[in-house]
């Protein structure tokens, strides 16, 4: 038996006026997804436990089968793990976004989405000019980077930059806020001398490094992952899931859908039991409020991944699939919410009751806890 977990990040949504009061899932032309739903089981999952922030760190930890209420310590340390960083007990990590701010308004939480190479030059320069024995900057992917800092800064309240898009800045507050605000202010000069659209860094998502069991230890299955996002690489690193990198994975709407499909089939054929395919495009479109891009990303999932993925899985033998987003990213609000999301589970050997994989299609189904779906897929 082979297993595939498909994560169209942030694809759940609310009715959109531009789509005639439909959601992107309802408006997109997805015949392959519709056929899977008709033969599978659809439902509604709470991927964000009460009291935790509605981020991809929490939601994807749920999808990977790890209860965030037990294992989540913060977003930034997960991404730090993806960069190969090891934190001591007296260190924490912050997410370090490159952002564009004008007149104290958050214009772009992604700082123009720079290339990783060009961003790394600036992050390394920030480390030379602002770093110290206690504070260090580490380059990541595009606008997403890491800052390692003293544990005494943990008691700080930081607002994610994507929650501020188009709004006035809300600076950090709390006992560790002063040095954070100073670093963010000092970064402006370095960015002003660069070629990037970003104007400064934004620090948030802090936490200690979590301690998690391996996926093999937890579930008795070998697993792999393809993604363009450090956050998911970090969860994989912490749980000994194999991370497969492909050149065309961008984390944007132009990502290599076929490449992600093909590496999944290749590694499953070579012996992995389970493979996770993550695509960020739907989430990025939601944050941008780009209706057309979100619908297109869903149609790309359908035509460029699912169509031939199903055929390839059939050639490998019996298989099961779980498809679901890690949270909702409504186009109208342009940020994450804690609302339940639809899920789809398919078994190639056994038809389910069938249904419709949309927000309305699962509205009347029982609510399940997100981290319980992976063991259900494995029928543990």
The residue-averaged pLDDT of 25-33 equals 98
If asked whether residues 341 and 220 sit together in one domain, one would say yes
Q: What is the mean pLDDT of the chain?
A: 96
The number of folded domains in the chain is 2
- What does the alpha-carbon distance between residue 214 and residue 222 come to, in Å, rounded to a whole number? 10
Say whether both 160 and 215 belong to one domain: no
Question: Strands 173-174 and 156-157: what pairing?
Answer: antiparallel
Give the residue-averaged pLDDT of 26-48: 98
Whether residue 202 has pLDDT greater than 70: yes
How does residue 251 score in pLDDT terms, banded at 50, 70 and 90? confident
Same domain, 150 and 182: yes
Q: What is the pLDDT of residue 141?
A: 85
Q: Are residues 174 and 219 in the same domain?
A: no
Query: What range defines the domain where residue 189 resides?
Result: 80-207
Mean pLDDT (whole number) for 196-223: 96
Q: Which of 207, 235, 256 is the last residue of a domain?
A: 207
Q: C-alpha angle 279/356/315, rounded to 5°? A: 60
Whole-number pLDDT of residue 380: 66
Alpha helices in 270-334 (DSSP H): 281-288, 291-300, 307-316
DSSP class of residue 160 equals -
At residue 344, the pLDDT reads: 98
Q: Are residues 129 and 271 in the same domain?
A: no
Contact 324, 344 (CB under 8 A): yes
Say yes or no: 247 and 219 in one domain. yes
Report which of 340, 337, 345 is spatially closest to residue 377, judged by C-alpha positions: 345
**pLDDT per residue as tens digits for the range 346-355:** 999 999 999 9
- 142 and 43 within one domain: no
Please name the residue ranges forming H helices in the chain. Answer: 24-27, 31-39, 56-63, 68-71, 75-82, 116-130, 177-192, 215-219, 230-238, 257-269, 281-288, 291-300, 307-316, 373-377
Banded model confidence at residue 252, pLDDT cuts 50, 70, 90: confident
45 pLDDT tier (thresholds 50, 70, 90): very high
pLDDT in tens, 275-321: 999 999 999 999 999 999 999 999 999 999 999 999 999 999 999 99
Structural contact between residues 201 and 187, judged by C-beta atoms closer than 8 angstroms: yes
pLDDT digits (tens, 9 = 90+) for 139-194: 998 899 999 999 999 999 999 998 899 999 999 999 889 999 999 999 999 999 99
pLDDT value for 230: 85
Terminal-to-terminal C-alpha distance of the chain: 13
Give me the half-sphere count of Cα atoms (radius 13 Å) on the Cβ side of residue 40: 25
Question: Do 51 and 119 fall into the same domain?
Answer: no
> In this model, does residue 72 exceed pLDDT 70?
yes
Final residue in a domain of this structure, among 160, 189, 207: 207
Rounded Cα distance between 140 and 162, Å, is 18
């Amino acid at each position: 038996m082979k297993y595939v977990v498909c994560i169209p990040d942030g694809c759940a949504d609310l009715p959109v006026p531009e789509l005639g009061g439909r959601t992107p899932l309802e408006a997109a032309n997805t015949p392959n997804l519709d056929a899977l739903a008709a033969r599978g089981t659809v439902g509604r999952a709470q991927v964000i436990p009460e009291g935790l922030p509605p981020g991809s760190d929490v939601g994807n930890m749920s999808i990977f089968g790890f209860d965030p209420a037990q294992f989540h310590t913060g977003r930034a340390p997960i991404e730090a793990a993806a960069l190969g960083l090891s934190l001591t007990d007296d260190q924490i990590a912050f997410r370090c976004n490159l952002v564009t701010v004008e007149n104290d308004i958050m214009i772009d939480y992604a700082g123009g989405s720079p290339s990783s190479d060009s961003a790394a030059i600036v992050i390394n320069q920030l480390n030379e000019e602002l770093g110290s024995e206690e504070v260090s900057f580490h380059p990541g992917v595009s606008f997403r980077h890491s800052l390692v800092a003293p544990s005494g800064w943990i008691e700080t309240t930081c607002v994610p930059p994507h929650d501020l898009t188009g709004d006035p800045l809300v600076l950090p507050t709390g006992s560790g806020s002063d040095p954070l605000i100073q670093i963010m202010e000092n970064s402006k000069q370095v960015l002003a001398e660069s070629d990037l659209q970003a104007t400064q860094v934004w620090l948030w998502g802090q936490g200690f490094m979590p301690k998690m069991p391996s996926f093999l230890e937890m579930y008795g299955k070998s697993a792999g992952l393809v993604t363009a996002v450090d956050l998911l690489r970090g969860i994989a690193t912490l749980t000994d899931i194999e991370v497969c990198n492909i050149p065309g994975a961008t984390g944007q709407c132009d990502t290599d859908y076929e490449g992600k499909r093909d590496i999944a089939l290749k590694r499953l054929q070579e012996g992995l039991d389970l493979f996770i395919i993550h695509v960020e495009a739907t989430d990025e479109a939601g944050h941008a409020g780009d209706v057309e891009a979100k619908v297109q990303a869903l149609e790309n999932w359908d035509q460029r991944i699912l169509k031939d993925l199903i055929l390839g899985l059939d050639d490998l033998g019996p298989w099961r699939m779980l498809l679901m987003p890690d949270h909702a990213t409504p186009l109208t609000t342009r940020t994450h919410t804690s609302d339940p999301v639809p899920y789809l589970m398919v078994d190639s050997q056994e038809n389910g009751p069938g249904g419709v994989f949309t927000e309305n299609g699962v509205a009347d189904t029982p609510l399940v806890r997100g981290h319980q779906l992976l063991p259900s897929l494995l029928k543990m």
